[in-house]
Protein backbone atom coordinates (compact mmCIF):
# COMPACT_ATOMS: atom_id res chain seq x y z
CA UNK A 1 0.00 0.00 0.00
CA UNK A 2 1.42 3.39 -0.98
CA UNK A 3 1.05 6.52 1.05
CA UNK A 4 -1.32 8.99 -0.58
CA UNK A 5 -0.15 12.53 -1.18
CA UNK A 6 -2.01 15.51 0.17
CA UNK A 7 -4.38 17.33 -2.13
CA UNK A 8 -3.17 20.74 -3.25
CA UNK A 9 -5.80 22.36 -1.04
CA UNK A 10 -4.75 20.28 1.99
CA UNK A 11 -1.09 21.09 1.43
CA UNK A 12 -1.76 24.82 1.17
CA UNK A 13 -4.09 24.92 4.19
CA UNK A 14 -2.13 22.61 6.47
CA UNK A 15 1.51 23.53 5.77
CA UNK A 16 3.17 25.48 8.56
CA UNK A 17 6.51 27.22 8.86
CA UNK A 18 8.54 25.10 11.22
CA UNK A 19 10.84 27.05 13.47
CA UNK A 20 11.90 24.28 15.84
CA UNK A 21 13.32 21.19 14.17
CA UNK A 22 14.30 17.99 15.99
CA UNK A 23 17.78 17.65 14.47
CA UNK A 24 17.07 14.59 12.33
CA UNK A 25 18.96 14.81 9.01
CA UNK A 26 17.08 15.17 5.74
CA UNK A 27 17.83 12.60 3.05
CA UNK A 28 19.66 14.13 0.10
CA UNK A 29 17.58 12.14 -2.39
CA UNK A 30 14.35 13.49 -0.85
CA UNK A 31 15.65 17.05 -1.07
CA UNK A 32 16.75 16.60 -4.69
CA UNK A 33 13.32 15.16 -5.59
CA UNK A 34 11.66 18.16 -3.94
CA UNK A 35 13.82 20.53 -5.99
CA UNK A 36 13.31 18.56 -9.23
CA UNK A 37 9.55 18.97 -8.90
CA UNK A 38 9.58 22.54 -7.51
CA UNK A 39 11.28 23.86 -10.66
CA UNK A 40 7.91 23.57 -12.41
CA UNK A 41 6.94 26.88 -10.81
CA UNK A 42 5.58 29.38 -13.33
CA UNK A 43 8.27 31.73 -14.59
CA UNK A 44 8.12 34.25 -17.40
CA UNK A 45 9.87 33.17 -20.57
CA UNK A 46 10.93 29.92 -18.87
CA UNK A 47 13.97 31.79 -17.51
CA UNK A 48 14.03 29.61 -14.38
CA UNK A 49 15.76 32.48 -12.55
CA UNK A 50 17.12 30.61 -9.59
CA UNK A 51 20.00 28.59 -8.41
CA UNK A 52 20.61 27.04 -5.03
CA UNK A 53 23.47 26.50 -2.66
CA UNK A 54 22.49 23.48 -0.58
CA UNK A 55 23.99 22.22 2.66
CA UNK A 56 23.15 18.74 3.85
CA UNK A 57 24.84 15.93 5.73
CA UNK A 58 28.48 16.46 6.68
CA UNK A 59 28.59 19.89 4.99
CA UNK A 60 26.30 21.22 7.72
CA UNK A 61 29.26 21.63 10.12
CA UNK A 62 31.02 23.95 7.65
CA UNK A 63 27.85 25.96 7.11
CA UNK A 64 27.26 26.31 10.85
CA UNK A 65 30.76 27.70 11.25
CA UNK A 66 30.01 30.36 8.63
CA UNK A 67 26.53 31.14 10.01
CA UNK A 68 27.87 31.46 13.57
CA UNK A 69 30.11 34.32 12.49
CA UNK A 70 27.08 36.28 11.26
CA UNK A 71 24.20 35.09 13.45
CA UNK A 72 26.13 35.50 16.71
CA UNK A 73 28.30 38.57 16.02
CA UNK A 74 29.61 38.81 19.59
CA UNK A 75 30.28 35.06 19.96
CA UNK A 76 33.85 35.64 21.19
CA UNK A 77 32.42 37.30 24.30
CA UNK A 78 29.95 34.47 25.05
CA UNK A 79 30.28 31.14 26.79
CA UNK A 80 29.97 27.99 24.72
CA UNK A 81 26.57 27.39 26.33
CA UNK A 82 25.34 30.86 25.30
CA UNK A 83 26.59 30.34 21.73
CA UNK A 84 24.89 26.94 21.50
CA UNK A 85 21.62 28.44 22.74
CA UNK A 86 21.75 31.23 20.12
CA UNK A 87 22.71 28.73 17.39
CA UNK A 88 19.92 26.25 18.22
CA UNK A 89 17.60 27.71 15.58
CA UNK A 90 20.34 27.12 12.99
CA UNK A 91 21.76 23.76 14.08
CA UNK A 92 18.54 21.72 14.33
CA UNK A 93 17.37 21.84 10.67
CA UNK A 94 18.40 18.81 8.64
CA UNK A 95 19.25 20.74 5.46
CA UNK A 96 19.54 24.23 4.04
CA UNK A 97 18.88 25.67 0.60
CA UNK A 98 19.92 29.23 -0.17
CA UNK A 99 17.89 30.48 -3.14
CA UNK A 100 19.81 32.89 -5.36
CA UNK A 101 18.34 34.97 -8.19
CA UNK A 102 19.89 37.25 -10.79
CA UNK A 103 19.59 40.98 -10.14
CA UNK A 104 18.53 41.94 -13.64
CA UNK A 105 19.11 45.64 -14.35
CA UNK A 106 15.69 45.74 -16.01
CA UNK A 107 13.11 46.36 -13.28
CA UNK A 108 10.29 44.34 -14.91
CA UNK A 109 12.50 41.26 -15.31
CA UNK A 110 13.89 41.64 -11.78
CA UNK A 111 10.34 41.63 -10.35
CA UNK A 112 9.31 38.70 -12.55
CA UNK A 113 12.38 36.73 -11.45
CA UNK A 114 11.70 37.41 -7.77
CA UNK A 115 8.05 36.40 -8.17
CA UNK A 116 9.00 33.20 -10.00
CA UNK A 117 11.62 32.29 -7.40
CA UNK A 118 9.03 32.91 -4.66
CA UNK A 119 6.69 30.43 -6.39
CA UNK A 120 9.60 27.98 -6.61
CA UNK A 121 10.25 28.38 -2.87
CA UNK A 122 6.57 27.84 -2.04
CA UNK A 123 6.59 24.71 -4.20
CA UNK A 124 9.59 23.38 -2.26
CA UNK A 125 7.83 24.03 1.06
CA UNK A 126 4.62 22.31 -0.06
CA UNK A 127 6.47 19.32 -1.52
CA UNK A 128 8.55 18.96 1.64
CA UNK A 129 5.40 19.10 3.78
CA UNK A 130 3.89 16.32 1.69
CA UNK A 131 6.91 14.16 2.65
CA UNK A 132 6.61 15.04 6.34
CA UNK A 133 9.53 17.45 6.13
CA UNK A 134 9.04 20.91 7.57
CA UNK A 135 10.48 24.07 6.08
CA UNK A 136 10.93 27.68 7.05
CA UNK A 137 11.77 30.55 4.68
CA UNK A 138 14.05 33.01 6.47
CA UNK A 139 15.69 36.23 5.36
CA UNK A 140 18.14 37.32 8.06
CA UNK A 141 19.81 40.65 7.31
CA UNK A 142 23.25 39.04 7.10
CA UNK A 143 22.33 37.25 3.85
CA UNK A 144 23.52 40.43 2.12
CA UNK A 145 26.79 40.63 4.04
CA UNK A 146 29.61 40.60 1.46
CA UNK A 147 31.61 38.03 3.43
CA UNK A 148 28.62 35.71 3.74
CA UNK A 149 27.85 36.11 0.04
CA UNK A 150 31.47 35.29 -0.76
CA UNK A 151 31.37 32.17 1.44
CA UNK A 152 28.37 30.93 -0.58
CA UNK A 153 29.88 31.89 -3.96
CA UNK A 154 27.22 34.49 -4.74
CA UNK A 155 28.18 36.66 -7.70
CA UNK A 156 27.91 40.49 -7.63
CA UNK A 157 24.97 40.40 -10.07
CA UNK A 158 23.01 37.96 -7.85
CA UNK A 159 21.01 38.18 -4.64
CA UNK A 160 20.17 35.62 -1.96
CA UNK A 161 16.41 35.85 -1.43
CA UNK A 162 15.92 32.92 0.91
CA UNK A 163 17.60 30.85 3.53
CA UNK A 164 15.28 27.88 3.41
CA UNK A 165 15.59 25.48 6.32
CA UNK A 166 14.34 21.90 5.99
CA UNK A 167 13.93 19.31 8.69
CA UNK A 168 11.81 17.02 10.76
CA UNK A 169 9.78 18.25 13.69
CA UNK A 170 7.90 16.93 16.68
CA UNK A 171 5.17 19.56 16.99
CA UNK A 172 3.06 21.31 14.37
CA UNK A 173 2.56 25.02 15.10
CA UNK A 174 -1.02 26.15 15.57
CA UNK A 175 -2.90 27.63 12.66
CA UNK A 176 -2.83 31.42 12.56
CA UNK A 177 -5.92 33.16 11.20
CA UNK A 178 -5.86 34.40 7.64
CA UNK A 179 -7.98 37.07 6.02
CA UNK A 180 -10.99 35.79 4.10
CA UNK A 181 -11.64 36.47 0.42
CA UNK A 182 -14.34 38.95 1.46
CA UNK A 183 -11.75 40.95 3.40
CA UNK A 184 -9.21 41.27 0.59
CA UNK A 185 -11.22 41.31 -2.65
CA UNK A 186 -12.74 44.34 -4.32
CA UNK A 187 -14.58 43.60 -7.54
CA UNK A 188 -13.90 45.98 -10.39
CA UNK A 189 -17.06 47.72 -11.58
Q: How far is CA 144 from CA 2, 60, 124, 141, 158, in A?
A: 43, 20, 22, 6, 10
Is 129 marked as a binding-site residue?
A: no
Is 178 marked as a binding-site residue?
A: no
Is 44 marked as a binding-site residue?
A: yes
CA separation for the pair 87, 127 (Å, rounded): 27
CA separation for the pair 89, 54 (Å, rounded): 17
Q: Which helix (H) or strand (E) holds 161?
A: strand 158-167
Write down how long the chain is: 189
Is 51 marked as a binding-site residue?
A: no
Is 55 marked as a binding-site residue?
A: no
Residue set of the binding site:
15-17, 44, 137-139
Residue set of the binding site for FMN:
15-17, 44, 137-139
Amino acid sequence: MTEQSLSVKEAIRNRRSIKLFNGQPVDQEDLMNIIDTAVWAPNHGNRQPWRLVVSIGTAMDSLMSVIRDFAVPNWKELTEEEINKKMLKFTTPGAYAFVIVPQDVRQKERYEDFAAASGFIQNMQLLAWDLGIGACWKTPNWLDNPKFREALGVKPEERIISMLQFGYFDDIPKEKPRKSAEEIVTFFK
